[in-house]
Each structure stands twice: as C-alpha cells, then as structure tokens.
Structure 1
C-alpha cells in the first residue's frame, strides 16, 4: 500500500522508498527508510500536501512524493514498544485572562 492511500490517524511502517534519485535521497535523509514507523497526521483541504509524524519529526510532503513510499499498516500499538507516543500538549502557566 502507498503512503498516499492512508487516512489521517493511520500508523504504518515504511517498506520501500521509490522516487527519482534526488527526492529519494532527501526522503531517506529525513528518516523515511525501511522499517521507520510513521503516523499520518492530516491532509490539506485539497489532499495535497500530507503531514506525517516519523520518529518524532513532523514531515510535510506532496502527494506525488508520498505515492513513491510503500508502507505496511500497523494495527494497534504495534509500531512502538511502549504504545504510540502522543503529542506534547501545550500547557499554560499562570491564570487565564
């Protein structure tokens, strides 16, 4: 299955990255290598670009770049040994106005 076919909230593991050499190298430098766990966060209103959380890093990529990334969907908390790490919540200190 391709990364571009996933829905927001889906978790997956990268199985291969196929793109033109410069784009492939850049994606791999950003951490999208075989075995990397990721979570699809959201899509832009027209479906392009896609925001992905990969190893704690937020990546935004175009749909045509995501079509070159083959993934395997993970069920439950299979992607992380201690469950999927949630996002840090912003805390306000002091009184709210």
Structure 2
C-alpha cells in the first residue's frame, strides 16, 4: 500500500516509490539519498511528530514532517501484496 513517509510508525520500513514537488526541496531530498527504490525505516518521532528520524542507507536522517509528507513509500506489507 502506498503511503506518505510521515504516516509510517516507529520501526516500520518502506521502499521509496516517488517524491512529489519540484525545485529546491525535491532536489535536496534526492541529494540526501531519498531516491526511488531506497529502503527507509522510522527510528523515532518527536513528541509532537516533528521532526522524524529515519534510517536510510546506513545513516540517520531527520526530516520535518512537511518534507516527509512529499515522499511516498510502499510498506513491506504492500510490496508482498503486489501493490
């Protein structure tokens, strides 16, 4: 099932399928390694849900919720079901 990166729960993994938006923000996300096919895991969320810390390609990455709303992933559950 495709969902926003910000919707994943702590400990949940996803595979990046697309990034919405254009311009500087999209380029910055791509430069940080948020590319199609990359596996990403939620490590922790701040008490109010912003920022969110992820594990991506062996490093920890913190993103604001606004930025993580632009990234879409499929969960392992969705991938197994062919979504």
Shorter-chain TM-score bucket reads: 0.7 to 0.9
CA shift digits 1:59-95 (9 cap, x unpaired) = 10000111110000014xx9xxxxxxxxxxxxxxxxx
CA shift digits 1:22-68 (9 cap, x unpaired) = 11101101110000001000000111000000110111000011111
**Which 5+ residue runs of structure 2 have no aligned equivalent?**
none
Aligned to 2:60: 58
Q: Which structure is richer in relative contact order (CA contacts within 8 A, separation 6 or more)?
A: 2
Aligned to 2:10: 8
> Superposed, which structure 2 residues align to 1:21-40 within 5 Å?
21-40=23-42
**RMSD, aligned CA:** 1.3
Q: Give TM-score, length-normalised by structure 1.
A: 0.74
The runs of at least 4 consecutive aligned structure 1 residues that moved more than 6 Å come to none
Larger Rg: 1
Structure having the larger proportion of residues in strand:
2
**Which 5+ residue runs of structure 1 have no aligned equivalent?**
79-97
Structure having the larger proportion of residues in helix:
2
